[in-house]
Each structure stands twice: as C-alpha cells, then as structure tokens.
Amino acid sequence: MAETSFDLIVVGGGPGGYVAAIRAGQLGMKAAVVEREHLGGICLNWGCIPTKVLLRSSELFHLLPRLEEFGISVTGIKFDLAKIVARSRKIADLHSKGVAALLKKNKVAHIDGHGALAGPGKVKVTKDGKDVGILSAKHIILATGARARTLPGLEPDGKLVWTYKEAMVPATLPKSLLVIGSGAIGVEFASFYRSLGANVTVVEVLDRVLPVEDADISALAQKAFQKQGMKVLTGAAVKSLKKGANSVTATVEQGGKSQEIAAERVILAVGIVGNVEKIGLEGTKVKVEKTHVVVDEWLRTGEAGVYAIGDLVGPPWLAHKASHEGVICVEKIAGLPDVHPLDVTKIPGCTYCEPQVASIGLTEAAAKAKGHEVRVGKFPYLGNAKATVLGDREGLVKTVFDAKTGELLGAHMIGAEVTELIQGFSIARTLESTEAELMHTVFPHPTLSETVHEAVLAAYGRALHY
C-alpha cells in the first residue's frame, strides 16, 4: 500500500460503501475502500443485479407462449440454463468493473483485503490470513453488509439445501423446489424456477406471502402465484429436513397438522444477519443488537469516529437505502448544510417476482394502527388501456391518505412494471405532496402511469376509468 493515511476509510465495497467513498471523493476527502471480495458487494455480485438478469430470462420465457395473442407464431421454444446463468455472471462482472472505474475516477483508493478496526482511527487489513498493513483515518465507516440467515436443523449445504448464492448458479434445473420464506428473495426465486418449469412449493410461517406488503397486495400476489401453478402454504413451518441422495423431504406443520413434502432442492430465504464478526468491534463502544450495529440518525455508532451503514444496521435492508445512508453519513461528516436524516417511510421497496410488487410508506393497517383516519384509493389494471395493450391486465394500485390533511401516507402496487412506477410515489412522499398536487398532475396517455393518477382520484371518489 503506497498510502496509509486517509480522511475517510470505508470497510466494505457494497452499494453503501462504494457510494459513501465516491461522495467523499467528490467533496475533496482523501478516501479509501477496503473490500475483501468483489466491488459492488452482495447486491451487485450475488443479489440485486444478477437475480434480475435471471428473472428477465424467465420473464421472456414465460411470455413467449402467449405470442399467439399478439399475432406472432413461434415454435420450438426452449431455454439454455447454462447460458442464462452465464449472462447473469457476465453482467455482474461488468458492473463490478464499473464500480472500480468510478472509484478511480473519484480518486478513491481501493484496497484488496479484509478490514477490521484496530484501535482509535485505525483499520487493519489482512488478505488470505496475512497482514497487509494498517490504515489510519479520522473517520471510519463500517459497511460490511449481511449474509443469509440460517435456522437450526435447516442449515444449507450448498448441494441439496441452497442459499441465494447456490440458487443463482444452478448446474441443472431441479424438477421440484421447496422455498422456505416468502419475502422478496423467496418469491423472486420461486418465480424464476416456476417460470422455467419447476414444481415450486413456498412455505411461509406468517399468515400471508410477502408479509411486509399491504394485505390487499399480498392476497393478489398469492392468487397470482397459485394461478401459475405454485403451491403456497402460509401459517406453516418447516420442522425438519431429511436428505436423500438427490432430494430432500421436509416435514411441514400447518394448522396443527403435519405433512411431508419432497423436493429435489430447497432454498432457504428466511432473512439476513449482519456481518458483525471479525471486524474489530471487541473492546469498542459499538453496540450490536440482534446481529446489527446500532446507530443514531447520522449513522454514528457509540465509538467516536466510527459509523455504520447499509445492511449492517437497521431495516429496510435494501441497496438504495444503503447508498442513501452512505451519502448522508459522508455529507454530515463534511459539515454540509441542509443534510437530513433518513426517513425510512420514504424508501420504496421492489420485488421482481411475476407479477412485480412495489410499495412505499405505510400500509393501510399500519396507518390505522398509528391513529390515522385514512382515505384509501384502489385502481385495477383492467381499467388501464396500456395494460390491455401489453396483455397484462392483472394488477392493482392502492393509495393511503390521511383523511384530515391529505398527506400521502403510503402506496402499494402489484402488476406489470410497478417497480418503475413506484418512483412517482417516492417523489410525492419526498415533496410531502397531498392529494391536491397529485390530482392536478397531468399523466401521459396511454401509459401504465395513469393507474397512479387514478388510484389517487379513487381515494376521493373521483376515479374516471373504473
């Protein structure tokens, strides 16, 4: 290492870490990123990006049999799983190299190795068990991310029981698949494998799939999954897994009854745990609760000069949340005026299953629980001309407003391209828009975005097309 002294050191090069370092570089700080594996972190290499590549392939394969509806005849439809996986890995690698270029452009040092706190203002770097050196900086940001949670008796082995990593690089398509957990990761993989022809069973311990979503959206998602041929078990728990030569038999309890489900492979998708081990927290004032580092509104830990962002800290555990935290943290360190703490109710969440799901803010139930008197608007895709043009008429946009003030409390969507449409509500929440501004906004026709307008109008009994 030519340089060992910096203004800011970031431990972890994921979407929170590298963005924080780039922002520091833009502000004239001498910054460094210590990354032990791949720039871009889990998101770019094993999460957000490669999974969406896989899902794009399965989406196209799912749509091809419907081409007759559009007057197009196609025969001999098939897929090449190896090529699908190879494209996913190629794109992940391309964007990881893009992060390296961005760091270089912003004069951020990239140090290859494992970083850990080594006393006040110090970071020790090791590689393959060997010491690389000691770095020093007044400010240190921990952005070490998280990993898949495991459950006792259900531990992944990489062969029959997979985490997201094995699920992204299958050598062959399993004929049957059991997915434990129906959050975003679980249902995305369920969609991918079901669209390619696998028999998929999803087991969720809570009473509905996608349990963090609004109840109306969850219900429509489950209906869509079942229509596609998925078997969905809610209020159910996998008690044990019995492994065979090339299959697994799960004992599942639901409603006081037990049943056995056999599948060639199992995907464990039951959440994450923070990477708090081996990063030098011992002997510091950094506090850890439930595997995640505790921070204040400015991402400061209990240890002076040490900060934490991204999946290492509190929910929601999303890449764009991590990036935003990185920017807030660095700008506060730099003393910029008008830096605002992150409001998690203004962070959109997207799930790229089939159909897509997206949301922001409070669900109807959460808004009522907080004491709001609400006005709710619902507009179905079947009332939208562009949805009919696309041949995707199954969907819903739901809005939740405060009945007294007109504040947009939340928005919840399911259907084609809702992961793109949600940004409209994100802007509205950031601008503290009320129903008045949204009603007066002119939306282009014919577009799916008109469902956003109509869902706002519907909350006030003014929907025009349904």
Q: Of 270, 293, 308, which residue sits at a domain end?
A: 270
Average pLDDT over residues 194-221: 97
Could you say which of 324, 445, 453, 465 is catalytic?
Answer: 445
Give the pLDDT score at 42: 87
Residue type, 233: L
Confidence class for position 422, pLDDT limits 50, 70, 90:
very high
- Residue 153 forms part of a structural domain: no
CB neighbours (10 Å) of residue 397? 31
In a domain, 155, yes or no: no
Residue 268 pLDDT > 90: yes
Position 463 in a domain: no
The pTM (predicted TM-score) of the whole model is 0.95
Asked whether residue 311 falls in the same domain as residue 280, the answer is yes
The first and second tokens of residue 404, run together, are 């007294």
* Residues 221, 198 contacting (CB under 8 angstroms): no
Which residue, 334, 365, 385, sits at the end of a domain?
Answer: 334
- Reported as half-sphere exposure (CB side, CA atoms, 13 A), residue 157 has a value of 14
In a domain? residue 277:
yes
pLDDT tens digits for 327-363? Answer: 999 999 999 999 999 999 999 999 999 999 999 999 9
Please compute, for residue 93, the number of CA atoms within 13 A of its CA located in the half-sphere on the CB side: 6
Q: How many CB atoms lie within 10 A of CB 219?
A: 16
Which residue is associated with the tokens 């828009």? 433
At 250, is the secondary structure helix, strand, or coil?
strand
Whether 266 and 277 share a structural domain: no
* Rounded Cα gap, residues 419 and 155, in angstroms: 32
What 3-state class would DSSP assign to 246?
coil
Task: Give the model's pLDDT for residue 329.
Answer: 98
- For residues 285 and 82, give the distance between their C-alpha atoms in angstroms, rounded to a whole number: 48
Task: Tell me the average pLDDT of the chain.
Answer: 96
pLDDT of residue 3: 76
Residues 248 and 279 in one domain: no
Asked, for residue 183, whether it belongs to a domain, the answer is yes
CATH number for the domain spanning 379: value is 3.30.390.30
Rg of the chain over CA atoms, in angstroms?
A: 23
Pair (260, 185) in one structural domain:
yes
* pLDDT over 90, % of the chain: 94
Domains identified in the chain, total number: 3
Residue 2's pLDDT is 67
Structural domain harbouring 386: 355-458
Q: Count the neighbouring beta carbons within 10 Å of the beta carbon of residue 349.
A: 19
Q: How far apart are the C-alpha atoms of 361 and 63, rounded to whole Å?
A: 32
User: What percent of the chain lies above the pLDDT cut of 70?
Assistant: 100
The answer on 437 and 320 residing in a single domain is no
284-304 pLDDT per residue, tens: 999 999 999 999 999 999 999
CB-count exposure of residue 283 (10 Å: 0-12, 13-18, 19+): exposed
How many beta carbons lie within 10 A of that of residue 366, not counting itself? 16
Our CA angle for 142, 361, 388, nearest 5°, is: 120
pLDDT tens per residue across span 157-188: 999 999 999 999 999 999 999 999 999 999 99
3-state secondary structure of 152: coil
Angle at 294 between CA 292 and CA 297, to 5 degrees: 130
Contacts of 184 (CB under 8 A, 6+ apart): 210, 349, 350, 351, 353
Strand partners, 340: none
* Claim to verify: residue 171 and residue 238 sit in the same structural domain: yes
In a domain, 297, yes or no: yes
Spatial distance between the Cα atoms of 201 and 177, rounded to a whole number of angstroms: 6
CATH of the domain at 296: 3.50.50.60
Rounded Cα distance between 71 and 383, Å, is 23
Whether residues 15 and 89 share a domain: the answer is yes
Q: If you write DSSP's letter for every residue of 399-437 in order, what string do you get?
A: EEEETTT-BEEEEEEESTTHHHHHHHHHHHHHTT-BHHH
Residue 186: closest CA among 359, 352, 312, 40: 352
Rounded CA gap, 426 and 255, in Å? 39
What per-residue confidence (pLDDT) applies to 65? Answer: 86
Which pLDDT belongs to residue 1? 61
Q: Where are the beta strands (DSSP E) in 196-247?
A: 199-204, 231-234, 236-243
428-448 confidence digits (pLDDT tens): 999 999 999 999 999 999 999
pLDDT value at position 393?
95
Q: Region 369-386: what's the mean pLDDT?
A: 98
The residues near 130 (Cβ < 8 Å, ≥ 6 apart) are: none
Please report the pLDDT score of residue 452 as a whole number: 98
409 HSE (CA, 13 A, CB side): 25
Q: What is the pLDDT of residues 37-82, one digit of tens each?
A: 989 998 888 889 999 999 999 999 989 888 999 999 988 889 999 9
Whether 184 and 266 map to the same domain: the answer is yes
Q: Does residue 347 lie in a domain region?
A: no
CA 262/CA 181 separation, integer angstroms: 17
Q: Are residues 128 and 68 in the same domain?
A: yes
Q: Is 340 a catalytic residue?
A: no
Q: 437 and 361, same structural domain? A: yes
165 is a domain residue: yes
One domain, residues 60 and 101: yes
C-beta neighbour count of 197 within 10 angstroms:
13
132 and 221 co-located in one domain: no
Domain C-terminal end among 222, 243, 270: 270
